[in-house]
Amino acid sequence: MAVLKILVIDDEPGIRSGVMRILKDFHVTYPFMDEDYTFEILQAPTGEEGIEIIESNKPDIILLDNKLPGIQGVDVLEYIRERKYDISVAMITSYASLDVAIRATRDGATDFIPKPFTPQELKSSLENISKQLYLKKVTDKLKTEGKKVRYQFLSVLSHELKAPLNALEGYLRMMQEKQSGDRIDDYASHIDRSLQRIQGMRNLIMDLLDFTKIRLERKEEKIQEVDLAEVARNAIVTVQPYAIQMEVNINLDIRSDSVIMADPEDMEIIFNNLLSNAVKYNKFGGKADITIDSTDNEVLLMFTDTGIGISEADKENLFREFMRVKNERTKNISGSGLGLSIVRKVIELYHGTIKVESTPEMGTVFTVRLPKKPPTIT
């Protein structure tokens, strides 16, 4: 449970003790909240003491009486506003004139609780304020994550594109200056390396486009019958050149009906990424198997390899955006760190699941479950 600090600023001891009594075992929960809120109560009989507690304890919520000895409640409210403190304030007063209400609202009061108030009135006000605080926290988190993702995009682009572009420039200058001779055959190895660099940049750009696509609104008109066996065969053709280089044998085992209602492009993202990883992170001369099975309601996909495996520590962050397993065995394997994050997001769009089992130096199995007729894609 999360704890919200409530500061009660009121010169009446009965009000302060009443609030403590009412909220002693009270907590706020809503179906959309991932945690309940309980409350820690702080007290101040004057505005001056209230300001001292604000500075020392930074409460989340203030229940503020306006008619106080010394400075008034609206003065405390103005103090909070001027310093731009992120505190929700509910005014509790029996002296609230229209002018006071207008000034308090202008200075940021979020609610008014009349004196005398019932336990239910107080609880109702705090439920609303707590819900607003939770939604604000979620919104702030999304904004922060959005900025982080944009920064990571720029970092990945600058890092992943800088090296191949520099290499391409170097190869072209060598050809321009005829450093290796006058015949085109003299530059065959440079051309091959340039094409590899271009392919790596293309893969990065495609990953970024896929990542952007799945964050946009889904369109129901793209949902159609898709034969996953055909998608698997196309994926095998796509990765076959690299599999030949690695001498990795790819096997497709179709055990039952493989038709699903989906966007064909989404299914291609799943198969291309998982099969590509099964080849890239395999051992020379290894195996990569795709198994397709089904029940009445769902399709089961298994991508099995005899590769280098994944440690327990790396598995914890495997599906995070821009996450790449970095060790001596993988340092020369190119990738954007977006592939598995994209795969998981696509699978979640279809209300499916993905899990990974792996043993270092033995291999890895990715298991995907997808409903044959998923609910509305959101």
In a domain, 225, yes or no: yes
One domain, residues 31 and 138: yes
| Higher-pLDDT residue of 30, 118 | 118
In a domain, 290, yes or no: yes
One domain, residues 9 and 122: yes
In a domain, 246, yes or no: yes
Q: What is the pLDDT of residues 262-287, one digit of tens each?
A: 988 889 889 988 998 899 889 899 99
In a domain, 205, yes or no: no
Residue 369's SS3 state is strand
Distance of CA 127 to the CA centre of its chain: 27
In a 13 Å sphere around the CA of 311, the CA atoms on its Cβ side amount to 8
| Higher-pLDDT residue of 171, 91 | 91
DSSP string spanning 97-132?
-HHHHHHHHHTTEEEEEESS--HHHHHHHHHHHHHH
Expressed in angstroms, the distance from the first to the final Cα of the chain is 30
Length of the chain: 378
- From 126, 142, 158, give the residue that closes a domain: 142
Place of tokens 């495609």: 206
**CATH number where 86 lies:** 3.40.50.2300
DSSP string spanning 156-168?
HHHHHHHHHHHHH
The parent domain of residue 276 ranges over 218-378
Model pLDDT, residue 150: 61
Largest pairwise CA distance in the chain: 97
One domain, residues 131 and 232: no
Q: What is the pLDDT of residues 149-194, one digit of tens each?
A: 666 656 655 655 666 677 777 778 877 888 878 888 877 877 877 7
Q: What is the pLDDT of residues 335-373, one digit of tens each?
A: 556 778 888 888 988 899 999 999 988 999 999 999 998
**CATH number where 322 lies:** 3.30.565.10
- From 142, 166, 198, give the residue that closes a domain: 142
39, two tokens: 């409350």
Are 58 and 41 in contact by the 8 Å Cβ rule? The answer is no
